[in-house]
């Protein structure tokens, strides 16, 4: 397959073709105008000469016509016979008629004495006209050649912004992030628009790839622990040398499977495009949602000296995907239970759409809090005292415009504040 012509070549050929067509049109128009003007001049010149002779002859019957080197009169007025090549001409002016080895302009007119022919020898004029025509054709060819040269360089200058964009695109490497098309400030507005649109597209592609990479990393990390728990509990339950009572192991498997189900819901929500995720929002009443989440997680505190204290405050309706909000709040509740041994877990809601979860656990030092926020900002794995799943909630907050913050002190517990950005009103 032959390579497609470049934009520079297309511009050059297009401008040259246009120039040639314009030159042909101008030449044709000039030729027609010249022929018409020339005919009018010959007609006026010869007719006035013939009228002048007839008038003189009428005034003086003895007046006779005298031929010159270029002008001759034939017919009864001059007493000379009309040459054969002129005898067949009709009345009127006839240009470039061959006669006697020369080219003449003949005026054929009818008088009282009969048909007369006034012939003007224009051989010299025709030679001069042909020389002028050749000179004009040569100058036109020179102008077209110069125009082609100027057009070639001009088209290169015009196509340079697009050529630079094309060159930049061909030099992109598949696995190198941060690649952008850079155009000069002097580039035309269209090239800047194309570059900005392409850079925006590259930015969205990178965000999509990064979101997919983060999803895979978090999925592999988050699912590793519950799978290990299920596998270990199943191995213990199937061990013939173990105790006959397998109910605790089966309960552990069921509990872990439920945790995995909520985790998968979070991961699936995170894998969606933010626009699609926000489009799935619906009206949710926090005062009804939070108690049901706490009831779902109470079984985790059965073997601990923990209790729950709910302060639901005023009713507040939020706009959010219900399952995502449930999973996010449930993850924070689960972390509070897992990081506490005894005491009261206080859960409160505000009319501003905040869910506040304060646990009586071990808390975190300033260094641990700093490391937690640093890892959340860098989207790295968050494990340890913060609990598994915090990064997922942080990612979901970025998707939905929520805010997640923590405050803690050693041996004084941790307080998590999830701001859902609600719009107040009845559910």
Domain of 412: which CATH number?
3.30.565.10
Whether 247 is in a domain gets the answer no
d(CA 54, CA 48): 10
- Per-residue model confidence (pLDDT) at position 388: 43
Q: Average pLDDT of 160-186?
A: 80
Which residue range forms the structural domain that includes residue 308? 277-427
pLDDT digits (tens, 9 = 90+) for 230-243: 777 777 777 766 65
pLDDT at 1: 44
What pLDDT was estimated at residue 426?
40
Residue 201 lies in a domain: no
| Segment 113-120 mean pLDDT | 90
pLDDT in tens, 273-287: 666 667 767 888 888
Does 39 reside within a domain? yes
Per-residue pLDDT tens digits for 186-211? 777 888 888 888 888 888 888 878 76
Query: Taking 90 as the threshold, does the pLDDT of residue 140 lie above it?
Result: no
For residue 355, give the 3-state DSSP assignment.
strand
| pLDDT tens column, 97-107 | 898 888 999 99
In the block, which residue shows the tokens 């006697």? 100
Residue 177 lies in a domain: no
Asked if residue 78 belongs to a domain, the reply is yes
Domain finish residue from 104, 131, 147? 147
Q: What is the pLDDT of residues 335-390, one digit of tens each?
A: 888 888 888 999 998 888 889 999 988 777 777 767 666 656 544 443 333 344 67
| C-beta separation of 160 from 183 below 8 A | no
Evaluate whether residue 303 is within a structural domain.
Answer: yes
| Dihedrals phi, psi of 231, to nearest 5 degrees | -60, -45
Q: At residue 48, does pLDDT exceed 90?
A: yes
Kindly state whether residue 363 falls inside one of the protein's structural domains. yes
Residues 253-266: what's their mean pLDDT?
72
Residue with the bigger pLDDT between 132 and 362: it is 132
> Do residues 345 and 356 touch, judged by C-beta distance below 8 A?
no
Query: Where residue 3 falls among pLDDT bands split at 50, 70, 90?
Result: low
Average pLDDT, the chain: 80
**CB proximity list for 392: less than 8 A, separation 6 or greater:** 218, 222, 263, 266, 267, 270, 331
Q: What's the confidence (pLDDT) of residue 244?
A: 59
Q: For residue 185, is pLDDT > 60?
A: yes
Q: State residue 379's pLDDT score.
A: 47
Per-residue confidence (pLDDT) for residue 61, from 0 to 100: 85
**Cβ pair 191, 161 in contact under 8 A:** yes
Percentage of the chain beyond pLDDT 70 is 85
Q: How many CA atoms lie within 13 A of 225 on its CB side?
A: 13
Of 117, 147, 177, which closes a domain? 147
Contact indicator for 376, 397 with CB cutoff of 8 Å: no
* Among candidate residues 115, 147, 179, the one where a domain is terminated: 147
Q: What per-residue confidence (pLDDT) applies to 91?
A: 92
Residue 388 domain flag: yes
Question: 341: helix, coil or strand?
Answer: coil
Whether residue 225 has pLDDT greater than 70: no
The DSSP element (H or E) to which 10 belongs, if any, is helix 7-59
Q: What is the pLDDT of residue 427?
A: 36
Please tell me the chain's helix, strand, coil percentages from 3-state DSSP, rounded to the nearest 5: 60, 15, 25
Tens digits of residue pLDDT in 296-332 = 888 778 778 889 999 887 778 888 888 778 878 888 8
Q: How confident is the model over 384-409, as a mean pLDDT?
A: 71
- Domains: count for the chain: 2
User: Mean pLDDT across the stretch 212-233?
Assistant: 71
């Amino acid at each position: 397959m032959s390579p497609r012509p470049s934009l520079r070549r297309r511009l050059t050929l297009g401008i040259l073709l246009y120039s040639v067509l314009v030159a042909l049109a101008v030449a044709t128009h000039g030729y027609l105008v010249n022929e018409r003007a020339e005919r009018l001049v010959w007609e006026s010149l010869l007719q006035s000469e013939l009228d002048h002779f007839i008038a003189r002859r009428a005034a003086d019957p003895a007046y006779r016509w005298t031929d010159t080197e270029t002008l001759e009169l034939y017919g009864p007025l001059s007493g000379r016979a009309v040459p054969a090549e002129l005898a067949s001409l009709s009345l009127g002016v006839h240009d470039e008629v061959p006669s006697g080895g020369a080219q003449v302009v003949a005026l054929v007119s009818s008088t009282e004495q009969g048909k007369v022919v006034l012939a003007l020898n224009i051989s010299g004029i025709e030679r001069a006209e042909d020389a002028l025509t050749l000179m004009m054709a040569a100058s036109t060819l020179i102008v077209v050649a110069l125009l082609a040269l100027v057009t070639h360089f001009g088209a290169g200058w015009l196509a340079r912004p697009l050529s630079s964009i094309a060159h930049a695109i061909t030099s992109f490497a598949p696995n190198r992030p941060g690649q952008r098309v850079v155009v000069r400030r002097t580039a035309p507005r269209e090239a800047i628009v194309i570059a900005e649109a392409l850079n925006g597209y590259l930015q969205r592609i990178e965000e999509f790839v990064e979101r997919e990479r983060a999803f895979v990393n978090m999925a592999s990390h988050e699912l590793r622990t519950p799978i290990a728990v299920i596998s270990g509990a199943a191995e213990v339950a199937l061990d013939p040398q173990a105790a006959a009572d397998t109910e605790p192991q089966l309960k552990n498997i069921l509990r872990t499977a439920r945790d995995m189900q909520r985790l998968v819901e979070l991961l699936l929500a995170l894998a969606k495009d933010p626009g699609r995720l926000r489009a799935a929002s619906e009206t949710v009443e926090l005062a009804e949602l939070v108690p049901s989440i706490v009831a779902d997680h109470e079984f985790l505190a059965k073997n601990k000296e923990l209790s729950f204290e709910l302060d639901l405050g005023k009713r507040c309706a939020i706009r959010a995907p219900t399952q995502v909000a449930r999973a996010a709040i449930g993850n924070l509740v689960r972390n509070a239970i897992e990081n506490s041994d005894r005491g009261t877990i206080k859960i409160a809601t505000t009319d501003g759409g905040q869910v506040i979860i304060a646990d009586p656990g071990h808390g975190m030092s300033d260094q641990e809090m700093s490391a937690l926020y640093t890892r959340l900002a860098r989207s790295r794995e968050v494990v340890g005292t913060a609990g598994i799943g915090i990064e997922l909630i942080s990612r979901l907050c970025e998707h939905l415009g929520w805010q997640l913050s923590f405050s803690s002190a050693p041996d004084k517990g941790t307080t998590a504040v999830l701001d859902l950005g609600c719009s107040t009103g009845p559910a």
